[in-house]
Structures are given as structure tokens and as C-alpha cells.
Structure 1
Amino acid sequence: MVIHTLGENNSLFNRFIAEIRDVNVQNDPLRFRRNLERVGEIYAYEISKTLDFADQSVETPLGTAIASLPKDEVVVASILRAGLPLHNGLLNYFDRSENAFISAYRKHTEDGKFKINFEYISSPSIDGKVVILADPMLATGSSMELAYKAMLTKGTPKHVHIVSVIASQEGVDFIKNNLPAENTTIWNGVVDAELNTKSYIVPGCGDAGDLAFGAKLG
């Protein structure tokens, strides 16, 4: 399984990650959403390099040009609700892709633990297509695995790209051990070593869904 951590290389990408983490910048939800979107655009560009391409003729006002264009069909999928800004960034570049949405969330119990609940999926067929499955935070990896299994009810993909902005090492290891290595690629911004007792990434950035869209009840 190939794993990319873009924050290991010096680029403007790291500025966006820093602002996503920064408690002072987080006071502006518009900026927080836009930074997730910009990160998604960078991921889209990088993922596009892995697709299969074919030459096509393009008619210009003065003649014919040959362009090498992607020939893979792409489905951009995200886990609601935190994944929406990241999804928008991916879609800005994969503007001809199909889209899928998965509703999965942490259902907390009285003893302070939680389980991942899956409620809903809206998706086209993914048979033979490249699936980009996005969620800003890869904590335990359980939500991502559940979303992946939900996507498989819609067909057999050619390749799956798992996209997160901030991951824990535990989450990365979980995906490595539970998704097929031969056709899965993991894309992270940064990988933090720690999960706290509530399974939040430390230092992480907090709850991405709440920061993007406001606090929720329950």
C-alpha cells in the first residue's frame, strides 16, 4: 500500500495545514472551510498524476493539438458532514467526476465510549472507477473502513484513494491492515502520534465538522 504524507515536503500546503490547526484562525469558519477546500485542490492535483492518460485531439481556431487527458472515471466520495469542504476542493479539479456521500458518525454511550453508526449512502456505480474517499480527520480509522465497505455495495473499484488532512498513526496503521494493499493509496497532510482517551487526534485540530459548520447537539 502506497502512503503519501504531503506535509513532509516544504510547500504552501503546510501553510494551509498550520492555519487549519491554529486556534486563532479557527475563529473564522469561512477561513477554516476554505483551507480544507484548498487542501482538497492540492490532493486532486497530486492524485491526477496517478491516473491513466490517453492522447486526444483538440481542435483550435488554427489547427489540431494533441492533449494527454485522463481516461479514468472518477468518483469523489466524502463522509458527512466534515468531509464537505474537502470534497468541494477535490471537485473543483475533478469537475467531471461523479459524487458519493456517506453518513457515518460516532454514537456515544453512557460509559464514554462510542461506536460508528452508518445511516445512508448516495452513490453511483463504482465498477471499474477510481474512488477518492475523503474525510478531514483519520483518527481510529473505523469511520473510513465503514465508508469503504459501504462504497463496495455499489461495485468493485479500480483503485481507492483514502484522503485525510490530519491522521493519527493508529488510524494509518488501521487502514493499512484492513483495506486491500494492491489497489489502495493513502494520502495524508500530517500524521500525529497520539490519540487521547476520547479518540481525538493530538495535537490534531479539534472537531473539523464543528469548526466548519458549528457545534451540534449530541
Structure 2
Amino acid sequence: MPMGRVTVVDHPLVQHKLTYLRDKNRSTKGFRQILNEIGMLLAYEVTRDLPLEPVTIETPLQPMEGRQIQGKKLVLAPILRAGVGFLDGMLSLVPSARVAHVGLYRDPDTLEAVEYYFKAPSDLADRTVLVLDPMLATANSAIAALDLLKARGASDLRFVCLLAAPEGLAKFQAAHPDVPIWTAAIDSHLNDHGYIVPGLGDAGDRMYGTR
């Protein structure tokens, strides 16, 4: 599996919080809160190389030249529904970001992604788009989401997840080799039902209390 486009975020705070999330006894409230916190921490990592441009401002003491992010504001694109778990944490860092919503569900028989909703800014071609989904398992939903976003003009895309399976990473990179991935961990494998092992279960169910 080529790892050149995959970044595993091994920051101690991320790994500590990930262990809390994996615990099957974590409450719905706790799961949701920690997922938001990890989203904020991952946002630091995935945006660390955004280009900057000089800007002249005045401090209370004198004029100076500072730096600000270059270009149009980011787009955060959570894959519904579990991807929303990252949204508040990331928006707390980049509150002016635009938000796209990509509605997909996994067919329980085929494990293929089925689209049911899509809404995004019209100028995706001019923006960096962060695609958010806690679990990169079969990669079917991630690939479908990227297909939709690219069809609407997006070209500067980055994928952010909490956990990834080797099978999903390989399939993702075969379909979209140009899109870099940030994840907190690469787990062992997928089981017969397409769940990541050891994983943490269904992130959407645990986040919304529907398990």
C-alpha cells in the first residue's frame, strides 16, 4: 500500500482521545464531544501547509506586515451523517469556512454508496475542500463523495478520517490517487460486514445514540 499520500496523525492528544472513543462504554454525549475535539486537532494538521500571503495591518503601536491565508475560504464537506461529527470542531478553528453536505448511505447488501442529497458552494473549483468522514472502511462512500465533488469542479481536495482500513486505503488511492488522506490510525482489517477491526463500531450510531 503506497503511503506517500497518507498522513497518520500520531499527536499524543489525538491518540489519547481516540482510545477514549474506541471504548464501547463511552456515552453518546462523550463520544460526540470527543469526536468534535479530535476534529479540531485534525484540522490543525490538514491545514498546516495552506499558502499564506502578506497583509499590512496596524497594531495598537504601529503598522506591520503580517500573513494571512491566501485565496478563497475553505470548504468543509462532511459525508452525512457521521462526517458531521467533525464539523463543529473544525468550524471553531475556521468559522468562515463554507460547508458542503454530501448525503450518502451504504447499501447493507452490496456495501455500495447510494446518493440521497448533495449541496455545495458553486465555486468549488476555486477553493480547498476538506472531505470529512470518521471511517474509511470499504472506501465506497469516500470515492462516491469525491466523484460528486470533482464533477462539480473541485480539484484541490483533502480527505480527513478518524480510522482507516488497509483495504479502504488501497481502493481509495486506486480511484483518487491525487487526493491526500489524513487519519488518526490505520487499523488491522475489515470484517465480513465491512466494519473496521478493531475499530470503534458504527460512528454514526454511536454519535447519535441509534445503535
TM-score, length-normalised on structure 1? 0.89
C-alpha offsets along residues 64-92 of structure 1, whole Å, 9 cap, x if unaligned?
A: 23221111331110111111121221221
Tell me the secondary structure at the aligned position of residue 100 of structure 2: strand
Work out the CA distance in 2 between the residues paired with 1:48 and 1:140. 26
In structure 2, C-alpha distance between the alignment counterparts of 1:126 and 1:61, rounded to whole Å: 37
Residue correspondence of structure 1 range 9-28 to structure 2 within 5 A: 10-25=11-26, 28=27
Distance 1:148 1:91 in 2: 21
Q: Which residue of 2 aligns with 1:48?
A: 47
Superposition pairs for residues 206-217 of structure 1, below 5 Å? 206-215=201-210
From 171, 175, 184, the equivalent of 1:174 is 171
1:108 aligns to what SS in structure 2? Answer: coil
Structure 2 contact 129–158 (Cα < 8 Å) conserved: yes
Assess if the C-alpha contact under 8 Å between 2:111 and 2:194 holds in 1.
no
Given that 2:9 and 2:45 are in contact with CA atoms closer than 8 Å, whether structure 1 keeps it comes out as no
Contact 1:126 1:154 (C-alpha < 8 Å) held by counterparts: yes
Q: Displacement of 1:34 after TM fit?
A: 1.4
Where 1:50 maps in the other structure, the secondary structure is: coil
Q: Secondary structure at 1:43's aligned position in 2? A: helix
Unaligned runs of 5+ in 2: none
Look up the SS of the partner of 2:24 in the other structure.
Answer: coil
Higher-strand-fraction structure? 1
Contact 1:51 1:72 in 2 (8 A): no
- Structure 1 equivalent of residue 141 of structure 2: 143
SS in 2 for 1:146: helix
Any idea what SS the aligned residue of 1:127 has?
A: helix
- Whether the 8 Å CA contact 1:193–1:202 is kept in 2: the answer is yes
Q: Report 1:63-74 matches (<5 A).
A: 63-73=62-72, 74=74
Give the % identical residues.
30
1:29-53: CA deviations, max 9, x gaps? 1211111111111111112211111
**Are 1:200 and 2:183 matched, yes or no?**
no
Unmatched tracts of structure 1, length 5 or more: none
Please provide the CA RMSD for this pair.
1.5
Cα distance, 1:54 vs structure 2: 0.6
> What TM-score results when the alignment is normalised by the length of structure 2?
0.92
After superposition, the C-alpha distances for 1:148-206 in whole angstroms (9 at most, x for unaligned) are: 1111232132x21110001101111111111042xx21001100121000000000000
CA distance in 2, matches of 1:108, 1:56: 52
CA distance in 2, matches of 1:4, 1:129: 21
Runs (4+) off by over 4 Å: none
